[in-house]
A and B are shown apart, each in its own frame.
Chain A
Amino acid sequence: MSEKQLTEMDYAEFQELMDAYITRSSQQDDALPAPTFLELLFDILSQRVQNVIRLEGQVINGELVLTPTEEETPVQVRGNQILLGDWQVIVTLKNDKLQPA
């Protein structure tokens, strides 16, 4: 651990740290070593999706209505909205040529 955490510094010390960071990082990219970058990249790409949530959509009175295919899911679904953590996903139909179910 470093001697002092960022939020434990006094403000002048913090400003000095940020000013030096701005000077350095404006000149060059992060010094992320190539082998570490490759390892992280391939690890991300190799990760398997662990959990799948399936939703079904129907057009009812011109509105998209989504329904989970299983009773218990970790997401809340309301009409065309999906709530996941602090994310709200709103799904709309791009064109009106789809035929109602």
Chain B
Amino acid sequence: MRIVIPGAFTARHQDVLTRYLADDRLLSPAEWQLLYQGIDILDTAQVHTDAGTGTFRQLYHCHIDVCFATSYLERLLALENVETQSPALIAEFARRIASHLQQAGLLLPDVSLTWLFYTYCVYWWQNFARGYAFEVQIVRDLRASGVKLYSHDIRDPVERRSVADMVVLNLTGDVKTSTYFLRSASSLGLPNDFYVTRLWIGGEHRLLVVFQKPTAWEKIDGDTVEGQLSGLLRLLPRPVKLRQDDVVLVVIDYAAWKRRVLQLQRKEQDDE
């Protein structure tokens, strides 16, 4: 077995990855950027074995996604309280990864580069597992609140990969943890009308917010206050219009967004 890590993955990338694993609260903004860059580079690292050659991304798909995803999601959907019960389930599956890779000959105690592959797998598994726990939590909360929505069936591997997680008021939406949200963004823009996400604002405190394209917000309400990226937290829960160059997004507190969606859906129902 031979592992080839791209030269672009430097000692600084490995250092920030090591420190992220130890305690991510200590990373600076520049180090977060370096971490994401390093993980992206590892996507193309290659593993050569007697069975053939594959990139980290391809092998993650074959050995982790195919083997664990559907059974994890079935167990997740069977939980009564996702918020309190999912952490144990996420950890249970993550702890299976080491023995699975050892059996496949892809995690060897005496070949330290295989540890990088294992780390890459656990990193993406945790993001995957937390991401779907968050999605299920939000979909259940919206339904319990009376919001009418269509959501994709996450047990179906094809439907799971649909661009949108849900449709509300004919707007396509996605529920994304911050890591996946960044990964779905590109210079071509965001594919969906709105994104429900969690912002970390220090300590143990996380804030649920909805990012929307201005056209989506106009359909729901349209009223906003102008804000700067650095001042967002002070302006919430009001709908805040953020602008940088020609990119404009409207951010609103999740509970306030849900209230306005419900009002509009009830009005539409009364009008019928």
Q: Tell whether, in the assembled complex, residue A22 and residue B233 are in contact, meaning their CB atoms are under 8 Å apart.
A: no
In the complex, which residues of chain B have a beta carbon less than 8 angstroms from the beta carbon of A5? 11, 14-15, 18
Q: How far is the CB of B6 from chain A (nearest CB, A)?
A: 10
Q: Does A99 contact B (CB under 8 A)?
A: no
Asked if A26 meets B91 with Cβ closer than 8 Å, knowing A7-B116, A40-B182, the reply is yes
In the complex, which residues of chain B have a beta carbon less than 8 angstroms from the beta carbon of A14? 112, 115
Q: Tell whether, in the assembled complex, residue A35 and residue B230 are in contact, meaning their CB atoms are under 8 Å apart.
A: yes
Q: Does B90 contact A (CB under 8 A)?
A: yes
In the complex, which residues of chain A have a beta carbon less than 8 angstroms from the beta carbon of B22? 2, 17, 20-21
Q: How far is the CB of A49 from chain B (nearest CB, A)?
A: 5
One of A6, A8, A33, A85 near B21 (C-beta < 8 A): A6
In the complex, which residues of chain B have a beta carbon less than 8 angstroms from the beta carbon of A46? 187, 244-247
Q: Does A54 contact B (CB under 8 A)?
A: no
In the complex, which residues of chain A have a beta carbon less than 8 angstroms from the beta carbon of B116? 6-7
Bound-state CA distance A8–B186 (Å) is 35
* Smallest CB gap from A49: residue in B: B187
Q: Tell whether, in the assembled complex, residue B91 and residue A36 are in contact, meaning their CB atoms are under 8 Å apart.
A: no
In the complex, which residues of chain B have a beta carbon less than 8 angstroms from the beta carbon of A47? 186-187
Stretch in B147-155, B200-208, B261-269 with 4+ CB within 8 Å of A: B200-208
Q: Tell whether, in the assembled complex, residue A32 and residue B179 are in contact, meaning their CB atoms are under 8 Å apart.
A: yes
Interface residue ranges, A against B (CB under 8 Å):
1-2, 4-8, 11, 14-15, 17-23, 25-42, 44-49, 85-86
Q: Tell whether, in the assembled complex, residue A37 and residue B182 are in contact, meaning their CB atoms are under 8 Å apart.
A: yes
Asked if A36 meets B182 with Cβ closer than 8 Å, knowing A29-B200, A31-B24, A45-B189, the reply is no
In the complex, which residues of chain B have a beta carbon less than 8 angstroms from the beta carbon of A36? 29, 32
Bound-state CA distance A4–B206 (Å) is 31
Asked if A1 meets B11 with Cβ closer than 8 Å, knowing A7-B112, A46-B244, A46-B247, the reply is yes
* Smallest CB gap from A19: residue in B: B95
In the complex, which residues of chain A have a beta carbon less than 8 angstroms from the beta carbon of B44? 85-86
Interface size on B, residues (CB 8 A): 68
Bound-state CA distance A20–B202 (Å) is 20
Interface residue ranges, B against A (CB under 8 Å):
11-12, 14-15, 17-22, 24-25, 27, 29, 32-33, 36, 44, 46, 55, 87-88, 90-91, 94-95, 98, 109-110, 112-113, 115-116, 118-119, 122, 126, 129-130, 134, 177-179, 181-182, 185-190, 198-202, 204, 206-207, 229-230, 232-233, 242, 244-247
Bound-state CA distance A81–B244 (Å) is 37
Q: Tell whether, in the assembled complex, residue B202 and residue A33 are in contact, meaning their CB atoms are under 8 Å apart.
A: yes
Q: Tell whether, in the assembled complex, residue B115 and residue A25 are in contact, meaning their CB atoms are under 8 Å apart.
A: no
Bound-state CA distance A23–B122 (Å) is 12
Bound-state CA distance A47–B185 (Å) is 10
Bound-state CA distance A8–B116 (Å) is 11
Q: Tell whether, in the assembled complex, residue A44 and residue B186 are in contact, meaning their CB atoms are under 8 Å apart.
A: yes
In the complex, which residues of chain A have a beta carbon less than 8 angstroms from the beta carbon of B179? 29-30, 32
Q: How far is the CB of B200 from chain A (nearest CB, A)?
A: 5
Q: How far is the CB of B59 from chain A (nearest CB, A)?
A: 13
Q: How far is the CB of B251 from chain A (nearest CB, A)?
A: 9
Q: Tell whether, in the assembled complex, residue A2 and residue B15 are in contact, meaning their CB atoms are under 8 Å apart.
A: yes
Bound-state CA distance A19–B87 (Å) is 14
Q: Tell whether, in the assembled complex, residue B200 and residue A31 are in contact, meaning their CB atoms are under 8 Å apart.
A: yes
